[in-house]
Each structure stands twice: as C-alpha cells, then as structure tokens.
Amino acid sequence: DIVMTQTPLSLSVTPGQPASISCKSSQSLLHSDGKTYLYWYLQKPGQSPQLLIYEVSNRFSGVPDRFSGSGSGTDFTLKISRVEAEDVGVYYCMQSIQLITFGQGTRLEIK
C-alpha cells in the first residue's frame, strides 16, 4: 500500500501570510501514461471534502488562484499565497495511482 505522509499536521497562519503543506508518498506517483496522480482536498468545518488541486498542479473549477500545487515523484507541496479566513479547515493529499490513500490531514487555523 502507498503511504501518504503530510507535514505539518497543524499550522496557524496570520491572514494575508503564506502557508505551505508538504506531502510525501512511499512510492512514485508518476504513471506510465505521463500523469502524476496526486490530489489536494480541503474539508472545511462541518462540510464534505472539496477538490482543490488535481494531478499535482491543476486547480479545480472555482478554486482561487492563491492555491497552487507543485512537486513530482514522491514529494509534493500545496501553497496558499495569502491565507484568508475562509481557508480554515483540514487539508488532505491523496494518491490514486494504486487504489486510493489519503494523507493524515493538516489542520489550518487562523491566528
């Protein structure tokens, strides 16, 4: 099974400041089709998860451009250029190259 490890598990950010979350996979997520099957989700308090980023760096429909994803192989990063109050929640990375596994989640709070 592919293990997804996120760091940090929690972070507290002042509005307007940047934030970064790391996700490492135990195996490469690069498929022979050339795609890398790494995704990012946000679960806001009391809500269902919502897709933010697909295939490492593509923003899903309606996702603000302050969210960006990067990385390759086994190391990936989600960055928020300027955190807003509405960004509070738990962020998960996910792989789908071999079934599906999620990271443990990173809780973001506002200072």
- Encoded amino acid at 42, one letter: L
Closer to another protein at the Cβ: 20 or 55? 55
3 lies in the binding site for another protein (CB under 8 A) = no
Question: 26-64: buried (b, 16+ CB within 10 Å) or exposed (e) per residue?
Answer: eeebbeeeeebbbbbbbeeeeeebeebbbebbebeeebe
Whether 39 and 94 have beta carbons less than 8 Å apart is answered as yes
β-strands 106-110, 10-13 pairing: parallel
Smallest separation (angstroms) from another protein to the CB of 102: 4
Residues 63-82 that bind another protein (CB under 8 A): none
User: Residues 23-52 vs another protein: string with x where CB under 8 A?
Assistant: ----------------x-x-x----xxxx-
Binder of another protein out of 36, 83, 103, 108 (CB under 8 A): 103
Binding residues vs another protein (CB under 8 A): 1, 39, 41, 43, 48-51, 54-55, 60, 90, 92, 94, 96, 99-105
